[in-house]
Structure 1
Amino acid sequence: MQTTTLSFANLHNHGELFANMLRARRELFIVHNKWDLPEAMGMEYDQYDTPASRWVVVHDENGQVLAGNRLTPTTAKCGIYTYMIRDAQRGLLDTIPETLLYEEAPVSDMIWESSRLFVAHNVPAGIRRKVHAKLISELGESVRGLGATHCVTLLNANWPRWSGRVGVKMSPLGPVMEIEGIDNQVVMMDFSGSMVH
């Protein structure tokens, strides 16, 4: 099991990995979860998949994607869009309630947004926890490598059950809300300390 953090600067070094990650996102979010999201050429994407973002991917040696995640700076700006959580709060996204945060969405070089976090649905139950932990660990390494300390993310509200297991302090930034039939909550992930491996 390998982890790779992709950027537009290094995509060419990793063959099909970026496309495979977008294919895996489509398989989970559009085919399996039945979410209404943009797709093209068998890949799911949105307005936040830009050169400003990074993608953390857990994969095998053949490039099969086991898990993934997108990181976007909270300082990003592209036309009317910034990052997903902030844009939802600003009323730009009709699928996420504007009331998802207790306070104004953060804009800071020290905070990146983690979005589209997933473990592929065909990952065997016996290794799902390990794959998830590997993804979160690499996410922390990437965030620190980008000079930041925290991630703001919209997660399944069951996060208190596993946050300690992956060694990341998390705190709620908004209420539990039902989105697409799943309880979700915006959470701040603190990667400022050293992580448990």
Structure 2
Amino acid sequence: MQTTTLSFSNLHNHGELFANLFRARKQSFIVQKNWDLPESEDMEFDQYDTPQSRWIAIHDLGEVLAGIRLTPTTAKCGIYSYMIRDAQRGILGGSIPQDLLYQEAPVEDSVWECSRVFVSHSIPQAWRRKVHFKMVEAMTGSARELGATRLIALTGATWPRWYGRCGLDAEAIGRKMWIDDGDFQCVSINLAGKMH
């Protein structure tokens, strides 16, 4: 099992991995979860997939097992910044409630958003924990290299059950809310303890 952090400047070095990551996202979010998201050429994408973001692929023998997108909270592209902030500002059309955070969404160099997190449904249950640990390791390592001391994410409300097991120092920064197919909550992940 390998982890690769992709960017627009290095994706040419990784063959089909970038496209395969977006294909796996389509399978996870559009096919499995039935979310209404943009797609083209069998790939899921959105307005935050810009050169400002980074994508982490956990893969094995060409198959994408899991993925994560990291976007700086300082990102700007037209009217968009990053998903959590744009939801709070009401420009996502109401799919995510505007009151998802207790405070105003951060815009700081050291804070990055973690989004489009998925684990392939084809992964056997026996492998899932190992994949989760690889995801956390890659996510925190990549975020640190990008200068992040904190990540924010809109994640499943069951996060307290597995964040601690994976060694993440996290706290809720918003209320629990029902979105599409489940309960979600915004969390802040402190990377300060992982900076050494």
What RMSD, in angstroms, separates the aligned Cα atoms of the two structures? 0.9
Counterpart position of 1:76: 75
Q: Distance in 2 between matches of 1:34 and 1:120?
A: 14
- Unpaired runs of 5+ in structure 1? none
**Secondary structure, counterpart of 1:139 in structure 2:** helix
Counterpart position of 1:38: 38
What code does the residue aligned with 1:29 have?
F
**Secondary structure, counterpart of 1:22 in structure 2:** helix
- Unpaired runs of 5+ in structure 2? none
Counterpart position of 2:56: 56
Deviation, structure 1 residue 163: 1.0
What code does the residue aligned with 2:48 have?
Y
TM-score with structure 2 setting the length: 0.97
TM-score with structure 1 setting the length: 0.97
Alignment of 1:116-135 (within 5 A): 116-135=116-135
Counterpart position of 1:173: 173
**Secondary structure, counterpart of 1:4 in structure 2:** strand
Q: Distance in 2 between matches of 1:148 and 1:30?
A: 30
Counterpart position of 1:142: 142
**Contact 2:11 2:18 survives alignment (8 Å):** yes
Q: Distance in 2 between matches of 1:17 and 1:56?
A: 10
**Contact 2:33 2:181 survives alignment (8 Å):** no
Counterpart position of 1:102: 102
In the TM superposition, structure 1's runs of 4+ consecutive aligned residues that sit over 2 Å from their partners are none
Deviation, structure 1 residue 123: 0.7
What code does the residue aligned with 1:145 have?
E
**Contact 2:23 2:44 survives alignment (8 Å):** yes
**Secondary structure, counterpart of 2:112 in structure 1:** strand
State percent identity of aligned pairs.
60
